[in-house]
Amino acid sequence: MTTVNTHAELFAFYGSEVKLPEDNRKEMKERRKTNRKRLNNGLIKNKMPTPTHHLIQGSYAMYTMVQRPNDDYDIDDGACFSRDELKGAQGADKTALAARQMVRDAIDDDSYRFKKKPECLPKCVRVHYATGYHVDIPVYREWTDDDGTEHHELAAADWIESDPQIITNWFKKVVPEKSPEDNQPYQMRRLVCLLKAWASSRESWNLPSGLIFSVLVDELYVPQRDRDDIAFHALLKTIKARLDRGDKTAQHPDPETDENFASGREAKMDSLQAKLDEWLPKLEILDDPDCTKKQALDAWNKFFNTHYFDQYIEDEDNPENRNCFVAMGGIPKKAVDKGGDTTFG
């Protein structure tokens, strides 16, 4: 294994080019508020029940949303209703499809020109906005049975038991537990984001979802204190080895839930295996004891399909420019965190 250390450069790449800047997070929050207001107003107009509360979900809630070209972001924002209020004209429970249709009809405001008409998908209502992003609205009903047990059910093909917070709570728990307590906390989360950034680095690729990546990282990640470069490279090799063994599952983190997130998405798992077969060899130089810093940085350039690391390659050619590194931790000053979060966590 090479003795070359590219943690500082990879960490700076994450902070500058991968992590969603704080300004964008604030914009996502405003978009979410606008969508909720449109939904509530539409439901009131249609004389339908309004949500008891909303639940932000997905990569925004898990802080794994990564930068996307053209602001092509997706926001998951669940709408939770009381079962007692979700009734049809004859007083019976609304079907799962009817509940999704109710939300779709409420959000389909003729006063706004959508990029595409809001649509009912199998497990949510999708709202396409003209500015490029879309909001997915999973529809839930909540009720308490005679034994006092609370139920949360998702409107899918039918109403299915589904805790809308279980994934978010799981991820927020395991990240600090598994990440080393180094100068930059939450290494596990950074590696999920780096994996997602690589997966979206070529427009034609169609790889698994961020949720599947999060589950794989949870299962296979081995922490490396102050060495994101070693941890990420090892993670990639471990994922490839697992896929090569024929294990293409991504099991739900709740041991009581027998759900494989990769089920029905075998083609995407096959594609992930193929892309790792093609691109992981670009990082083989990192295992060469004679690898130079320039070679290592160039390998990251190729792997992520970027020229970001060129600035550090130039510094290797011009040692007098290396004062871009601060004394503590070797974090390049020139890498700007666009959101002002100095931890890049």
Residues 6+ apart with CB under 8 A from 12: 331, 332, 334, 335
pLDDT at 327: 39
pLDDT at 253: 82
Element (H, E) at 135: strand 134-137
* Phi and psi, residue 211, nearest 5°: -65, -45
Measuring CA to CA, how many Å separate 290 from each of 4, 91, 294?
Answer: 9, 75, 12
Low-confidence ranges of the chain (pLDDT < 70): 1-2, 258, 319-345
Give the span between the Cα atoms of 279 and 266, in whole angstroms: 20
Helices (H) and strands (E) in the chain, counts: 11, 8
58-91 burial: b if 16+ Cβ within 10 Å, else e: bbbbbbbbbbbeeeebbbbbbbbbebeebeeeee
Report the share of the chain in percent with pLDDT over 90.
74
Give the span between the Cα atoms of 286 and 40, in whole angstroms: 54
pTM assigned to the model: 0.88
Domains along the chain? Answer: 7-19+167-324 (no CATH), 22-164 (3.30.460.90)
